[in-house]
Amino acid sequence: MIKQSHATAVWSGDLRSGTGVIDSQHGAVRQVAYNFPKRFESEQGTNPEELIAAAHAACYSMALSGELAKNQIVAESITTTATTTLDMVDGKPTVSTIHLATVVKAGGADQNVIRSAAEAAKAGCPISRLLNTKITLDVSVA
């Protein structure tokens, strides 16, 4: 299976005062503006690290669903929040960690099986495999 997806970013101006716009292939992200203050300072708004977090949370939730299915568990819901941490490493901004916090609603399912599936999903989801950073995980079973 080969599936390609794409997104486009256009940046105008210098690093500190310039602005950019992001568009995705199928329009889910359409004309999203970003800039230096949104990325590195306290201005609210979407930035590349937030988009990575969203992609990772979505990918991980789907991967966990697949791992649970291997154990005949169908979750009522899987809610995952991914948090990226942007630090200076060797003098360069770097996503140093991504923390996944997931809540699995699967009434009556064995919690140990769910936790094992959660770890397998963390290791196996395509976005986890893409990223060269430390990934941590907290799992709650509801």
Domain that holds residue 66: 48-141
The predicted model gives 72-78 an average pLDDT of 97
Task: Answer yes or no: is 105 within a domain.
Answer: yes
**Domain match, 53 and 28 both:** no
Rg from Cα positions in the chain: 17
In terms of domains, do 15 and 81 share one?
no
Identify the band that residue 99 occupies on the pLDDT scale cut at 50, 70 and 90: very high
- Tell me the DSSP string of the chain: ------EEEEEES-TTT-EEEEEETTSSS-SEEEEHHHHHSS--S--HHHHHHHHHHHHHHHHHHHHHHTTT---SEEEEEEEEEEEEETTEEEEEEEEEEEEEE-TT--HHHHHHHHHHHHHHSHHHHH--SEEEEEEEE-
28 inside domain? yes
| Predicted confidence band of residue 26 (pLDDT cuts 50, 70, 90) | confident
Please give the model's pTM, rounded to 2 decimal places. Answer: 0.92
Over range 59-65, report the average pLDDT: 98
Amino acid in the structure at residue 53: A
65 and 134: one domain?
yes
128 pLDDT above the threshold of 90: yes
Nearest to residue 65, comparing CAs of 27, 12, 106, 99? 106
Both tokens assigned to 66: 């697949």
Residues 52 and 113 in one domain: yes
Q: What is the pLDDT of residue 3?
A: 86
What pLDDT does residue 27 have? 80
Structural domains counted in the chain: 2
- Considering the domain architecture, whether residues 97 and 126 belong to the same structural domain is answered as yes
Considering the chain, what percentage of its residues have pLDDT values greater than 70? 100
Same domain membership, residue 63 and residue 133: yes
- At residue 45, what is the residue type? G
C-alpha span between 118 and 65 (Å, rounded):
9
Q: What is the mean pLDDT of the chain?
A: 95
- Please name the residues in contact with 58: beta carbons below 8 A apart, sequence gap of 6 or more: 80
**What is residue 38's predicted lDDT score, i.e. its pLDDT?**
94
- 131 and 75 fall within a common domain: yes
Whether the pLDDT of residue 133 is over 90: the answer is: yes
CA torsion sign for 5, 89, 87, 129 is positive
